[in-house]
Amino acid sequence: MTVEFGLDTFGDVTAGSDGALLSDAQTIRNVVEQAVVADEVGLAFFGVGEHHRAEFAVSSPEIVLAAAAARTSRIHLGTAVTVLSSDDPVRVYERFATLDAVSNGRAEVILGRGSFIESFPLFGFDLADYEQLFEERLELFGRLRDERPVTWEGRTRAALRDADVFPKTENGFRAWVGVGGSPESVVRAAQHRYALMLAIIGGSAARFRPFVDLYHRSLAAVGSERLPVGVHSPGHIADTDEEAMEQAYPAIEINRNAIGRERGWPPYSRAQFQHDVGPEGAMYVGSPETVARKLAATVRVLDLDRFDLKYSNGTLSHERMLRSIELYGTQVVPRVRELLAESAG
């Protein structure tokens, strides 16, 4: 079984050694450093999310990724996700074609509607158009991927008449759709022939198997070849289970409660955390062996092509994230490959 292993970050604003929050600027510089370490330990992908709120420093992922491209050589660089609904598909395509050039063919894009809505009023979009904005922009972006003049018309942006888009790429770039778990979104990704990235942030991975099967059936129905399926889930790795949990919980609690106050969630608790890191939870927290075993089980049950660990968790420090990245690349990934080989044999 061939599977890629990557990392995702939202550029969470982190705490320094004195406990105070770092500046947005320092957080962004640290993200670039994290990408460099990810490249050094041989990981396949580094994704940076787009947000427009105080907890996250990155609102322009492509600029951060371009900085990372200049300091890395092998790792693929992309978003996690680009909020296509509140952006323009032509500009998104131009930015990623440019990133593909400066990275020597290492650009990827994961497109999504986003789980936060701050970008809609910020850029003048009506939330009443939430579904139509994404559907139209996804269809147009798919047309732009052909890198030929496009004629297109929709309700949510100006029509195009034989419009060409530059720069041209040398070999195109991979495009995914990030899906939170609705069947309609899975079918949409297949109909437009995008790779599928499942964001599993709650519950067991096994319950997403029907979505994987639906995706493959939907691809076959439109006459498409098999396309990759990936998973994005949160986690943290340290030398021991106890160390990983004690490092991760306070940072995750701060982040969850800040967002939960807006969304009406109950306060996050140790009991909930213990469930989330357990066999039926969506977090991959623990020692390299613990994380590798859970990760291998996820790859097997979903027949994955890629797994992206969302390694930034609230205020978790830069130093601890660097250690987590190092352990992921040097110990977890090789161990997962061993476990997959054993089960295949």
Q: What is the rounded average pLDDT of the residues 331-343?
A: 96
Q: Is the pLDDT of residue 271 over 90?
A: yes
Output the pLDDT for position 181.
81
CA torsion, ordered 211, 216, 219, 221, to nearest 10 deg: -100
80 by Cβ neighbours in 10 Å (0-12 / 13-18 / 19+) ranks as buried
DSSP 191-247: HTT-EEEEE--SS-GGGGHHHHHHHHHHHHHTTPPP--EEEEEEEEE-SSHHHHHHH
pLDDT for position 128: 94
Percentage of residues in the chain with pLDDT exceeding 90? 97
The stretch 215-229 carries a mean pLDDT of 97
Find out whether 110 and 140 touch, Cβ atoms under 8 Å.
Answer: no
pLDDT at 345 over 80: no
Q: CA-to-CA distance for 76 and 231, rounded, in angstroms? A: 16
Q: What is the pLDDT of residue 344?
A: 85
This prediction's pTM: 0.97
In this prediction, residues 232-252 reach a mean pLDDT of: 98
Distance of CA 9 to the CA centre of its chain: 7
pLDDT at residue 1 tops 70: no
**What are the tens digits of pLDDT across the range 295-331?**
999 999 999 999 999 999 999 999 999 999 999 999 9
pLDDT reading at 41 higher than 90: yes
Q: Which residues have CB under 8 Å from 187's CB, separation 6+?
A: 214, 215, 218
Rg (CA), the chain: 19
- Report phi then psi at 247, rounded to 5: -75, -40
204-213: average pLDDT: 97
- DSSP state, residue 104: T
Q: Using 50, 70 and 90 to split pLDDT, how confident is the model at 42? A: very high
pLDDT surpassing 80 at residue 4? yes
- Averaged pLDDT, 245-264: 94
- pLDDT-based confidence at residue 217 (cuts at 50, 70, 90): very high
Average of pLDDT values for 64-80? 98
What number is the average pLDDT over the span 252-256?
Answer: 94
Neighbours of 176 (CB within 10 A): 26
In the three-class reduction of DSSP (H, G, I as helix; E, B as strand; rest coil), residue 263 is classed as helix
Q: 285 has which bridge partners?
A: 236
Q: Average pLDDT of the chain?
A: 97
Phi and psi, residue 48, nearest 5°: -125, 125
What residues have CB less than 8 Å from 204, skipping those under 6 apart?
279, 280, 281, 282
pLDDT the model gives residue 115: 81
**CA dist., res. 254 & res. 267, Å (int):** 10
Looking at domain 4-344, its CATH class is alpha beta
Total count of residues recorded for the chain? 345
Residue 26: what pLDDT? 98
User: What does the pLDDT look like over 79-126, one tens digit per residue?
Assistant: 999 999 999 999 999 999 999 999 999 999 999 997 899 999 999 999
Average the pLDDT over 4-27 and give the result.
Answer: 96
pLDDT score for 14: 96
- Strand-pairing partners, residue 233, are 309
CA 317 to the chain's CA centroid: 20
Q: What is the DSSP string of 279-328?
A: TTSS-EEESHHHHHHHHHHHHHHHT-SEEEEE---TT--HHHHHHHHHHI
Between CA 197 and CA 307 the distance in angstroms is 9
First to last CA, the chain: 11
Residue 226 pLDDT more than 60? yes
How is the chain split into domains, by residue range? 4-344
Q: How far apart are CA 222 and CA 191, in angstroms?
A: 6
